[in-house]
Amino acid sequence: MDEAALRQAIRKLIDVDNEVYSTRMAFVFCLILSAFLWWIPVIGPAVAGYVCGRKTGSMMKGLLCSLIAGAVLLFIIKGMSALILAHGGFPGVPADEAAQAFTGVMGSIAAYLQTFFAAGTSQLNYLSLGVATVFGAVGGILSRQMRKETAHLISLGMTECSVRPVARSIQLYNAHKEMGFKSFDDCMEMQRMTTNENDLSVKQKGGKAGNTKAQEIRPVATTVQTVTTTVSGSAAPPQSKAQGSPFTDILERSDLKKDK
């Protein structure tokens, strides 16, 4: 493998994936979480497996991914123990006894390595690997179940369970609580505007009470003329100048009388 291909492979491995489900990132998460949390009995491997399963989105993928990640971690730990704990008598003596022979930084590394072994033995703790694998499958099952529930709710139109929460005004209205208006009709009623509601009495500039002058209100009438065009097969007759007037017929008869 050339240098360019190696760099591309490393970039793909360490790249933060923004996809919702990714087996590659699930493997990375499980490997890192297992390395940091394996020392916590049951809970540590369970968390690592569950996160792995949720990220894969499938039961089988979660099970296999957590199993492979845990196996890879144990393989690395076994190789490191053979190099480091061997100076303390491992594997002839239990891993915890071999770790006690180290001090300082090496003592901390040895104490970390011995947490992956069963207490009082030199055998790896495969029980934690089983816990991580089981919870990987559980995480995948729950992830798949959540997708099914979301699709079912969307198909039923239950928007209250959608990503965007329901507006607070709608929640208050459904709970029959006060929110300024009870319905859309009441809201529109508040927005209606009335015309020609001016005061009939206006005070003079002096501000004296009793000296008021009635002010005539002249309503404004607006006439809108609508022109309707009719299209037919035959040509329309010529229109008179007074088209649109109610006195068209009277004016035409008057013109006829004058011509006679």
As a dihedral over the C-alpha atoms of residue 96, residue 97, residue 98, residue 103, rounded to 10 degrees, the angle is 90
Lowest mean pLDDT among 123-127, 166-170, 188-192: 188-192
Confidence of residue 30 (pLDDT cuts 50, 70, 90): very high
User: What's the rounded mean pLDDT across residues 39-57?
Assistant: 93
Q: Look at residue 228 in the predicted model and tell me its pLDDT.
A: 47
232 vs 246 pLDDT, higher one? 246
Q: What is the mean pLDDT of the chain?
A: 74
Scanning the structure block, which residue is given the tokens 């934690």?
128
Which CA distances in Å does 150 have to 143, 161, 183?
A: 11, 8, 31
Share of residues in the chain with pLDDT > 70 (%)? 61
Q: Look at residue 64 in the predicted model and tell me its pLDDT.
A: 95
Answer whether residue 190 shows pLDDT above 60: no
Which CA distances in Å does 192 have to 181, 185, 189, 196?
A: 14, 11, 5, 14
User: What's the rounded mean pLDDT across residues 157-179?
Assistant: 65
pTM exceeding the 0.85 threshold for the entire prediction? no
Answer whether residue 29 shows pLDDT above 80: yes
Answer whether residue 82 shows pLDDT above 60: yes
61 vs 175 pLDDT, higher one? 61
As a dihedral over the C-alpha atoms of residue 179, residue 181, residue 184, residue 187, rounded to 10 degrees, the angle is -130
Confidence of residue 100 (pLDDT cuts 50, 70, 90): confident
User: What's the rounded mean pLDDT across residues 242-249?
Assistant: 59
Q: Look at residue 160 in the predicted model and tell me its pLDDT.
A: 53
Dist CA 133 CA 26 (whole Å)? 13
Confidence of residue 258 (pLDDT cuts 50, 70, 90): low
Answer whether residue 51 shows pLDDT above 70: yes
Answer whether residue 142 shows pLDDT above 90: yes
- Measure CA of the first residue to CA of the last residue in the chain; give whole Å: 114
User: What's the rounded mean pLDDT across residues 181-200?
Assistant: 52
